[in-house]
Each structure stands twice: as C-alpha cells, then as structure tokens.
A and B are shown apart, each in its own frame.
Chain A
Amino acid sequence: MENIISVEGVTKKFKEVTAVNNISFTVRAGEIFGFLGPNGAGKSTTIKMLTTLLAPTEGKLLLNGHDVVKEQNTARKTFGIVFQDPSLDGDLTAYENLQLHAVLYKLDKKTIAPRSEELLKLVELWDRKDSLVKTFSGGMKRRLEIARGLLHHPTVLFLDEPTLGLDAQTRNLLWNYITALNEKEGMTIFFTTHYLAEAEAVADRIAIIDHGNIVALGTSEELKKLTGTDNLEKAYLELTGKDVRDESLSSSASKKEITRRVAHNR
C-alpha cells in the first residue's frame, strides 16, 4: 500500500459554514505528515472525517485502502488518535483508562499488562498509574492520551495538536519517541500543530490549509522556495496572511485573495 491516507474531493459543511472545501491529498505509508493552518482552518474537521467521527458532505476518504464511511469498522482498527480536546475518563485511574482502551481494541489479554507498563514508563507516568486521572496536570493527561493512542499498535497515528500545553522538555521527549516509532515500526504520523519549528523539524511533508482550502503542500524546503522565504514561519505567514482569522470570511473569497497575495509576493 503506497498511499495510506487518500482524501479525494472532500467537503464538509456545517449548515452555512464550509469547514473543509473540496480538498484532495495523499499521505504515503511511513510518512510524517504535518497539517498546518490558522485557527478554524479545518484541521480538526479533516481529522474527524478521517477517523470516522464526522461524515463528509462530499468526497471520499480512504485509510489503508478502506473507505472510512463504508468500511468504518475496518478503518477504525488501523488508526490511533490523540484528539485536540481531552478524551480521558477522569474518574478512572491512568491504568484503568488504558485497560478499557485495550479491551475496546481487542488486545490480546496477555499483552495488555506489559504493553501498558512499557507505555506508561515511556510517558513517565508509571508511578502514577493508580491515581485518578482527574488529579493529573494538563501535561500529564496529554502524555497519557498519547500512550493510550499507541497502545494498540496503530498503523496510522493522528495527533491533533499533541504538544499543546506541554513544556519544552516533554515536547522534545515525545517527538523523539514518535519519530523513533516512525522509523522502527514504520508508523505513519499525521499531526497538526501551531509550533512551526516543530513541524519543520519532524515533518517529511507539510500541507497548509486555510479557510478549508489546501493552499500549499510540500516539504518545508519546497514551501520556503514557493514563497521565497528563508524559514517556515515566514512561508506560513505568506501563505495564510498575517491577519488574525475572521472565521466568518467566506472561504472561496479568501482563497482568491490568498492566491493573489502569494502571487504578488513571489
């Protein structure tokens, strides 16, 4: 399987709001793919469609060759996800959260304990495994979510702003681990972030989405060349404009404006 993710002409409308507007792209197996864009650009919506949480208004999404709408259950087995918003049960302990996940994903009973231990140690929560999650700090919860997302050995891992609210040390540790997994197990990583340096450091390719449209896609070198800038942050601002987002802008109008601006600056 060459393309592990394939998005073909996908649109998502929430009543009048077009969150994602006819986007198409593919992610190769084993790739680390960064999905960048301003607030409200449609990143989380795209991830939710890829992970079967939202049905697309139009278009087709394939995960590992499976249509995520028609073959929902098969698709669900292949990915792990860390959502942008928390999704742990605070009234359960860290270990119980993992145990529940393991049962939902039908992990072999014998492997649950060693695998949980390995991951909890990795995210440095082993000594807190029996504490209720509601007593955790934001960063600890985040780390636990990441451990949980990895528990069932997914072939694709979706990370929606995984490092949000993490200190520099933990961010570092996490990316080291995630890139190691990518190399060792060939796990495909699809992530979003607002830290551009992070994306530049780890992503093989980057897509930039703005107002529901993909405005650029390529390696960070290619994006810099495209905009004639010398770092990704500048390239990003060239592509998406420097204004703080007004989410009520109609997406087609803004697309024209951006294309114009990019052309103008080149």
Chain B
Amino acid sequence: MDTIYILWLRQMKKYRRSGLRMVLSIVQPLVYFLALGYGFNSIFEKAGRGSYVQFIVPGVIAQTILFTSIFWGANILFDKQFGFLKETLVAPVSRTSVMLGGALGGATIGVIQGVALFIIALIFGFHPYSWPALGITVLAMTMLSLAMVSFSSAVGAIVDDMPSFMAVTNFLVIPLFFLSGSMYPLDNIPGVMKVIATLNPLSYAVDAMRTTLINQSHFGLPIDFAVMTGTMVVLFIFSIYQFKKIEA
C-alpha cells in the first residue's frame, strides 16, 4: 500500500513540477471543442439534432483523457532511459505495485485533465442535464483513463525506444478517437463504421459520458460499464504481465 502510494505521489509531484506542459496538454482538445463545437453547431441544429456544442463536450473530454493516457507509457520509457526504473525493479516490492503506483498516477492526471476540460466547457456555456449524474461521469473518466494508462504502460514496458513507442501509440490513437462516436452520433453512420465503433472500447466510455452529461444514450449505461470494466481488467492484467517480464 505504502509502495503504491509513494509511487503515485512521485507522479503527482512530477506533474505539478511540469509547469507549462500541464496547461498545454489541454489546448488541443480545447481547440476541437471550440472550433468544431461552434463550427458545426448550426448544421447540427438544422438537422434537428440539437446543440452540437452540447453534444461534443463528452467527446472532447474523452479525447483529453485518451490523449493524455495513451502516451502515459512514455514515462516508463523515460524511467528506463534515465535509469530510475532500475531502482524500483531491484526493490523488494512486487511488480504489480510498481505498475499500479504509476498507473494510478497517470489515471489521476487523466481525470484531472478531463475535469479541467469540463470546467472550461461550463465557462463556455455547457450545461449538464443532471448534476448528481456527474459522479457517474467521473467514474467513466477514471475507468477510461486506467484502461488506457495500463495499455500504454504495457507498451512502454515492452519497447525500448521512443520511436517504436510512438509508432504503436500513434497508429492506434487516431482510429480509436475518430471511430468512437466522440465527434458524431453512432445511429446513422454506414455499416462498416458502425461495426468498428461497436468494437472500439472508447465508444462505450463516450457513450457513458454522453448519457450522464446530456442524457443521450446509444448502448445504454449497463452495457457501457460492462464493456469498460472488461477492457480495463484485461489491459490491466496484460500490463502487469509485461511489467513482470522487464529486465535491465
């Protein structure tokens, strides 16, 4: 427990000290929110789908979390390159707690970014349909973040250089994001895209957030959380397995 806590705390300190990076990572989703949200708003409304600014908020929150979390594993690579990883690998602690401490740190940062974006959206006029439901939104954010951080940590544990890490994550992040229903409703899209979106775990996180934030649901909350839990557990176990295999 102490081990997990101290490794989590380490990530929090590093995050706090990262200064400008902390702020910059929220700029990209913010641009999506403002440009697309207001850009497509009138078309969306003419099509009788309501406000696009409202619609896109859960999508950009998911995007922030996805982008922060899927690149989290770069920190494992830095720890390999700057050598700190060895300190944890020879310590009398389990690899599971080493992985967990870092992953919880990454997930916390993911959720902080997601909540920050939510607050900015509020300032720009977003209004959630129910305040109590926000608790469930945050739960969905946490699960999404943990799943992506676990996956990314596993990649960081497997590869030994940054180009390979970037190749894997960049290969995945764009399709995951654009084929998830984060930017458009899933009900009237072509069949192939629908199949892909249904297979994409991110769709369920977006759906859970959209349900709890603006009361629009595609799969329904029980299915959303079932898929998210499954994805999280599988990626989590995969990551622990990869951590146990690290040698120096």
Contact = CB atoms under 8 A, between A and B. Distances in A.
Interface of A: 48, 51-55, 73-74, 76-77, 79, 81, 83, 85-92, 96, 99-101, 103-106, 132, 148
Given A100-B6, A105-B92, A87 B87 contact: yes
A104 B84 contact: no
Closest 5 CB pairs of A and B: A87-B83, A104-B91, A76-B92, A103-B6, A53-B248
Contact of B247 (A54, A81, A88, A100): A54
A83 B89 CA distance: 12
Given A51-B90, A76-B90, 11 more contacts: A73-B92, A79-B90, A85-B86, A86-B82, A86-B83, A89-B82, A91-B14, A92-B14, A99-B6, A100-B87, A106-B92
A85 B13 CA distance: 24
B244 to A, nearest CB: 11
Most chain B CB neighbours (cut-off 10 Å) among A53, A76, A89, A105: A89
Contacts of B88: 104
Nearest to B93: A104
B3 interface: yes
15 contacts: A55-B247, A73-B92, A81-B90, A87-B83, A90-B82, A91-B14, A92-B10, A99-B6, A100-B10, A103-B5, A104-B3, A104-B6, A104-B88, A104-B92, A105-B92
A87 B92 contact: no
A76 B248 contact: no
Contacts of A148: 87
B89 A53 contact: yes
Contacts of A91: 13-14, 17
Nearest to A158: B90
Contacts of B13: 91-92, 96
B187 interface: no
Max count, chain B CB within 10 A of own CB: residue among A77, A90, A103, A132: A103
Contacts of A73: 92, 94
A90 B87 CA distance: 13
Of A77, A100, A105, most buried by chain B (CB within 10 Å of CB) is: A100
Nearest to A103: B6
B130 to A, nearest CB: 40
A76 B94 CA distance: 11
B72 to A, nearest CB: 15
Contact of A77 (B2, B7, B14, B92): B92
Contacts of A103: 2-3, 5-6
B94 to A, nearest CB: 8
A76 B91 CA distance: 6
Contacts of A54: 247-248
